[in-house]
């Protein structure tokens, strides 16, 4: 397979690329190395590739000339995973223009280049559950360690109303709709995945994005400080810690992308909610309990005000993707967090 991964030096992209290299696919990557850790993932991928198996070019997808030149040189591709993006809601509030250029203009440039140079390729776009907005109209109940949504015991499906909120929600949502529409209008083999939280090795989490990774890192730092007898500083959490997400381990996600590339005819033109599902949902407080129990330390944290547009409860209903291709997440949060912890350590 000849596979193009935009954002291939990021967390999801580098895991997908490593798996493709392992299967002897030819991998092409576009990445601007904007993200912390992407340089490290680039070096890691280069160490795994055989001669002529991996091509990485560093440029901004908002630059339409650079995108077209790249496609002119290397297309056609069999598969395109479009993962490059401005990924943090907080950054989008500080710099909405950068967010717009990356997520909307960048996606548009890739769709147009695909239409011109690689119209047969399967094009998968990594969208987000944030396209459903704050979901304030949903009845949410508070329990001891988490929120629940009694009307949606299996989570939310794709028919839930779109309600873009925050620059990040608007830019990812606009791109999500462009990608779907380029199937309707131009017949491209596009597929949209609306992702919940993804976690696992090679995720260089920050305060702004990658909450499981970020809190594991805080835990590791507190543990190391305790071992050295240094006073530990509390870390902060936004809100009361009862907000819930379904979490998906990267190995399960990579399998899904691979399955989808080989089932394009079933999935083209479709949108899917993709996460761990209700069985793999976690609140922040539940994550802290796993970390406390496993590591026998008492985490020291402080609450700060809620983040803008933060959903109190979001869990994907996986019925649609289960029905289209037989894909089910296999890695439990406990297994996945242990794996991530080992990588982080």
Does 126 interact with ligand NAD (rule: CB under 6 A)?
A: yes
Does 87 interact with ligand NAD (rule: CB under 6 A)?
A: yes
- The CA distances from residue 103 to 12, 96, 259, in Å, are 16, 10, 25
Q: Which is nearer to ligand NAD, 12 or 138 (CB)?
A: 12
The count of other CB atoms within 10 Å of the CB of residue 292 is 13
The separation between CA 103 and the C-alpha centre of its own chain, rounded to angstroms, equals 14
Instruction: Mark residue 64 as left, alpha or beta (left: phi above 0; alpha: psi -120 to 50; beta: remaining).
Output: alpha
Angle between helices 211-227 and 333-344 (to 10 degrees): 60
User: For ligand NAD, which residue has the nearest CB?
Assistant: 10
Find the binder of ligand NAD among 54, 56, 61, 321 (CB under 6 A): 61
Q: Which of the residues 220 through 279 are near ligand NAD (CB under 6 A)?
A: none
Find the binder of ligand NAD among 20, 25, 27, 35 (CB under 6 A): 35
Q: Which is nearer to ligand NAD, 91 or 118 (CB)?
A: 91
As a three-state string, the secondary structure of 241-288 is CCCEEEEEEHHHHHHHHHHHHCCHHHHCCCEEEECCCHHHEEEHHHHH
Residues whose CB is less than 8 angstroms from the CB of residue 284 and which lie 6 or more positions away in sequence, other chains included: 211, 215, 237, 241, 242, 243
The separation between CA 319 and the C-alpha centre of its own chain, rounded to angstroms, equals 20
Does 11 interact with ligand NAD (rule: CB under 6 A)?
A: yes
Q: Which is nearer to ligand NAD, 61 or 121 (CB)?
A: 61
Q: Total binding residues for ligand NAD by CB under 6 A? A: 28
Find the binder of ligand NAD among 92, 107, 114, 128 (CB under 6 A): 128
Find the binder of ligand NAD among 107, 189, 197, 218 (CB under 6 A): 197
Place of tokens 């809100």: 239
Find the binder of ligand NAD among 13, 133, 201, 276 (CB under 6 A): 13
Residue 256 CB, shortest distance to ligand NAD, in Å, is: 13
Active site residue 257: no
Find the binder of ligand NAD among 1, 55, 60, 68 (CB under 6 A): 60
Q: Which is nearer to ligand NAD, 61 or 216 (CB)?
A: 61
For residue 146, give the nearest of 302, 289, 344 by alpha carbon. 289
Angle between helices 106-117 and 166-186 (to 10 degrees): 20
Does 83 interact with ligand NAD (rule: CB under 6 A)?
A: yes
| Binding window for ligand NAD (CB under 6 A); candidates: 29-37, 47-55, 133-141, 307-315 | 29-37
For residue 131, give the nearest of 80, 95, 180 by alpha carbon. 180
Find the binder of ligand NAD among 31, 99, 246, 258 (CB under 6 A): 31
Two structure tokens written together for 335: 């297994």
Residues marked active site are found at 168
Binding-site ranges for ligand NAD (CB under 6 A): 7, 9-13, 30-35, 38, 60-62, 83-87, 102, 106, 126, 128, 195, 197-198
């Amino acid at each position: 397979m000849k596979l193009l991964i935009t954002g291939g030096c990021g967390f999801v992209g580098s895991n997908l690329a490593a798996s493709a290299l392992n299967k002897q696919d030819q991998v092409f990557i576009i990445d601007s190395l904007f993200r912390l850790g992407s340089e490290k993932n680039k070096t890691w991928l280069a160490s795994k590739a055989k001669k002529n198996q991996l091509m990485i070019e560093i440029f901004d997808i908002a630059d339409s000339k650079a995108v077209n030149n790249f496609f002119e040189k290397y297309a056609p591709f069999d598969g395109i995973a479009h993962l490059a993006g401005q990924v943090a809601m907080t950054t989008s509030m500080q710099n909405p223009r950068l967010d717009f250029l990356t997520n909307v203009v960048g996606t548009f440039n890739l769709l147009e280049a695909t239409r011109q140079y690689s119209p047969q390729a399967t094009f998968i776009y990594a969208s987000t559950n944030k396209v459903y907005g704050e979901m304030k109209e949903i009845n949410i109940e508070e329990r001891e360690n988490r929120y629940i949504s009694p009307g949606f015991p299996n989570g939310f499906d794709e028919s839930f109303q779109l309600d873009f909120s925050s620059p990040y929600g608007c830019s990812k949502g606009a791109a999500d709709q462009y990608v779907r529409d380029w199937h309707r209008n131009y017949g491209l083999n596009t597929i949209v995945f609306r992702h919940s939280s993804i976690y696992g090795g090679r995720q260089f989490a920050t305060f702004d994005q990658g909450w499981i990774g970020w809190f594991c890192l805080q835990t590791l730092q507190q543990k190391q400080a305790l071992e050295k007898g240094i006073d530990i500083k509390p870390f902060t959490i936004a809100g009361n810690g009862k907000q819930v997400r379904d979490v998906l381990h990267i190995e399960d996600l990579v399998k899904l992308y691979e399955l989808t590339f080989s089932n394009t005819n079933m999935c083209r033109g479709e949108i899917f909610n993709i996460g761990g599902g209700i069985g793999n949902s976690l609140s922040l407080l539940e994550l802290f309990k796993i970390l406390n129990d496993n590591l026998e330390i008492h985490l020291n944290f402080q609450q700060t005000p809620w983040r803008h547009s933060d959903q109190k409860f979001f869990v994907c209903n996986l019925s649609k993707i289960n029905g289209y291709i037989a894909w089910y997440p296999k890695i439990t949060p406990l297994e996945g967090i242990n794996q991530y912890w080992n990588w982080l350590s």
